[in-house]
Structure 1
Amino acid sequence: MRSTGTYAISTTLGESVQAFVPHPLPPAKPTLAPECYMEANRVAELALAHLSGVSGLVPSVDWLLYSAIRKEALLTSQIEGTQATLADLFDEEAGFTVSNIDDVEEVTNYLRAFRLVHDNLRDPGGLPLSVRLLSDAHRLLLDGARGSGKQPGELRRSQNWIGGTRPGNAVFVPPPPERVPALLADLERFIHDASQALPPLVKTALAHLQFETIHPFLDGNGRIGRLLIAALLEHWGLLPEPLMYLSGYLKQHQAEYYRRLSSVRTDGDWEGWVAFFLEGVAKAALDAERNIVVIASLLAADRRRLLASPKAGPASYRLFELLPMMPRFTIEQVRQKLGTSFPTATAAVKMLEDLGIVAELTGQKKNRSYSYQPYIALLTG
């Protein structure tokens, strides 16, 4: 059996436990055999290429990014147990009352962390993909949320564990805290080592698992580890825009996800993990491609209905173009976005309502709220 790490004694809460310390990447003795991943990697890379191509069906890639990034934020948070929905997120952004505000705050914090990493990688003067950048993202992730007392932005200084009520009955005990900085430095070197012959997607799979094994923070490791996947896709130019939400696949196969991670540590089964990961990328890219086609069809059909209406005017056209990034709204928000008068904004909303494109939610005469419901239904379906 291939050895993937060693054990070190770590004492915490008055008991000594065996903490797992992973070997540096890439896997060795034996190394990953190309025949184990070549075909799956080809299929996954092709799926990503198709996804990149189909994004041109929609007039603005920002429309697609708005929904894709929010779905990733939502699904990665749901893996950790949050109950927020996409509609909750849209409501919160529109300023509507949301009942489970703590869960929504966790999702919006992930969005902020995601944007920070994305913007730095796009900015020539920004931080490279590094421990420092992930720590900055972690600070935003836990800002004001339930984990705010768990050293946001700082590597852990105490022993953590996964599963169980204490280290002694844990499912997995990550490395002792004093080993974490060096392990992360090794991981950072692996990411930036251009001499590695492994395909980028395989390297992404290995890096994600290594990060999860190190578990460098007291809280939020799963979400930052999945954010690392998106960052690596960007870093290696595998997807020009973050249009794929892999957390949907990982949530759907959550038990297998955790089992595959564990099997590497216990049995050295890197091949099983890489195969699972590559299949996930291929399926997630295909799902994202299908969603883009369906959304593009809805937007095109609704636009045709609007353009065919003799009563439609410039304000209603401009409002329609805002809907994919403002699916829940009030007339006052429309007035501000369009920079127009309240009566003009009201007339634009009424035009789209009469055509059945948007619907009023409250049934009230005043303080009305509106929704682009067919669009939201597609995103949440």
Structure 2
Amino acid sequence: MWIWQRPDWPTFSFDMDRLAAPVAEYRCRAGQLAGTVARLTVADRQEALVDLLVSEAIKTSAIEGEPLDRVSVRSSIKAHIGLAPPATASSDPRADGIAALMVSVREHFMRPLDAALLGAWQTMVIPPRPSHATQWGAYRRGDAPMLIVSGYIGKQRLHYEAPPSTRVPQEMDRFLDWYQATRPVDGKDPLPGPLRAAIAHLWFESIHPFDDGNGRVGRAIADHAIAQDLGYPPLSCLATCIEADKRSYYAHLESTQREDLRIDAWLAWFVATVLKSQEVARAQVDLVVAKTRWFDRYRDRLNERQHKVAARMFAAGPAGFEGGMTAGKYVGITGCSKATATRDLAALVEMGALTSLPGGGRSARYVLPCVAP
């Protein structure tokens, strides 16, 4: 029996007291992160925002098996938030669409959710294709069941079956009424942000109202709920953290949709992921500050090749450049000879701009001192 087939659907139950401590921790971390961001320069704040939105856009698409080009997503993010001319947005509709969604969630975080807004978000992430029968901006229709399956044809595994399309309008009306009623400030039954985000995501994914794009829109709803709770759109990495533990995400979602309406395990996992996302966001902000200080210190001593490689290494994020920088990678990034790459890297180490990892010789690897290898 699926969760929506339960006679008491959608009356979710959970122990609020068990979640009091992590919710309190979430609020504490949110305040600390907001304070850190407020102390950044305008340029650093903008860079941190762009970096995090790019990561979120790429990762929420990757969860659905859709790889995107980072440069394309970044150009569209900057165009949509007004840091670059609109004409510089990517020509890839997938990259531009997910960028538009990321920015729309931030711009409309205080707007009540309704069918029109959700439909607009769905059209952003699912570009129209003439040969595709997807409903754009409208709930799914037709008699075909909405099945979530994996595997090859003939060996497919059924993970979930959503309510039939005839029930979707009624189910969504009930969901949207609940979402409005649980608003943190003026709702009649307010819920803490992480819990509201977790329930909203589970509920929306269980209805699966659109032909396509439900996962990305569902994660956008979670971000919307967090922003409404805080009163501002925070620097967030929720999709980034979900993608990093995608198997656990799907396992918790599937098990919850197959069980009764007691959702303590789902809430505990989701709130823990929100806390993790705050850690990742803090690390990204710290990296932006470190990057500014690094370039302030070394910029005038770098040649064009070294500057390009350093920028690429910082772009890898707080986790650092995978495997460290090597002479071979340096050649691939700059197009110089291996001898030149070796000299450039040695000069960076000598001035303290890079650190050499243990090993040396032909397998010498280098990292930024301010980024953990």
CA contact (8 A) 1:82 1:103 kept: no
Post-superposition CA distance 1:249-280 (Å, at most 9, x none): 21122121112112222223400000000100
Gaps of 5+ in 2: 79-89, 182-186, 321-373
Tell me: higher relative CO, structure 1 or 2? Use CA pairs within 8 A at least 6 residues apart.
1
Shift of 1:69: 1.0
Shift of 1:161: 0.9
CA contact (8 A) 1:136 1:153 kept: yes
Post-superposition CA distance 1:314-345 (Å, at most 9, x none): xxxxxxxxxxxxxxxxxxxxxxxxxxxxxxxx
Gaps of 5+ in 1: 8-20, 95-101, 310-351, 361-370
CA contact (8 A) 1:161 1:172 kept: yes
Find the counterpart in structure 1 of residue 137 from structure 2: 153
CA contact (8 A) 2:197 2:223 kept: no
Find the counterpart in structure 2 of residue 367 from structure 1: none
- Partners of 1:222 and 1:146 lie apart in 2 by 22
Instruction: Tell me the SS of whatever aligns to 2:108.
Output: helix
Alignment partner of 1:121 out of 100, 103, 109: 109
Instruction: Tell me the SS of whatever aligns to 2:5.
Output: strand
Find the counterpart in structure 2 of residue 267 from structure 1: 259
Find the counterpart in structure 2 of residue 6 from structure 1: 5
Post-superposition CA distance 1:22-71 (Å, at most 9, x none): 823x51xxx32222211121222222222222213431222221111111
- Partners of 1:265 and 1:22 lie apart in 2 by 14
CA contact (8 A) 2:109 2:233 kept: no
For 2:248, the aligned partner's letter is: E
Instruction: Tell me the SS of whatever aligns to 1:5.
Output: helix
- Partners of 2:159 and 2:264 lie apart in 1 by 22
1:17-96 equivalence runs, <5 A = 23-24=9-10, 26-27=11-12, 31-60=13-42, 61-87=45-71, 89-90=73-74
Find the counterpart in structure 2 of residue 97 from structure 1: none
Is 1:241 the counterpart of 2:223? The answer is no
Shift of 1:148: 5.9
Alignment partner of 1:133 out of 76, 100, 117: 117
1:1-381 equivalence runs, <5 A = 4-6=3-5, 23-24=9-10, 26-27=11-12, 31-60=13-42, 61-87=45-71, 89-90=73-74, 105-121=93-109, 127-144=111-128, 149-158=133-142, 159-163=145-149, 170-193=158-181, 194-237=187-230, 240-268=232-260, 269-306=262-299, 354=303, 358-359=307-308, 372-378=311-317, 381=320
Instruction: Tell me the SS of whatever aligns to 1:153.
Output: coil
Distance 1:40 1:261, change over 3 A: same
Q: TM-score, normalised by structure 1?
A: 0.69
Identity, in percent, stands at 21
- Partners of 1:146 and 1:52 lie apart in 2 by 44
CA contact (8 A) 2:138 2:210 kept: yes
Shift of 1:358: 3.0
Instruction: Tell me the SS of whatever aligns to 2:147.
Output: coil
Instruction: Tell me the SS of whatever aligns to 2:267.
Output: helix
Post-superposition CA distance 1:82-128 (Å, at most 9, x none): 2335356447889xxxxxxx996423311112223332336xxxx53
- Partners of 2:136 and 2:21 lie apart in 1 by 40
CA contact (8 A) 1:84 1:103 kept: no
CA contact (8 A) 1:57 1:296 kept: no
Post-superposition CA distance 1:289-309 (Å, at most 9, x none): 012112211112313445xx5
Shift of 1:376: 1.3
- Partners of 2:5 and 2:14 lie apart in 1 by 19
Segment of structure 1 superposing worse, 104-113 or 371-380:
371-380
- Partners of 1:264 and 1:92 lie apart in 2 by 36
Q: TM-score, normalised by structure 2?
A: 0.70
Shift of 1:288: 1.0
Instruction: Tell me the SS of whatever aligns to 2:139.
Output: coil
CA contact (8 A) 1:212 1:221 kept: yes
Segment of structure 1 superposing worse, 272-281 or 109-118:
109-118
Instruction: Tell me the SS of whatever aligns to 1:162.
Output: strand
Post-superposition CA distance 1:203-236 (Å, at most 9, x none): 1100100000000011111111011111112222
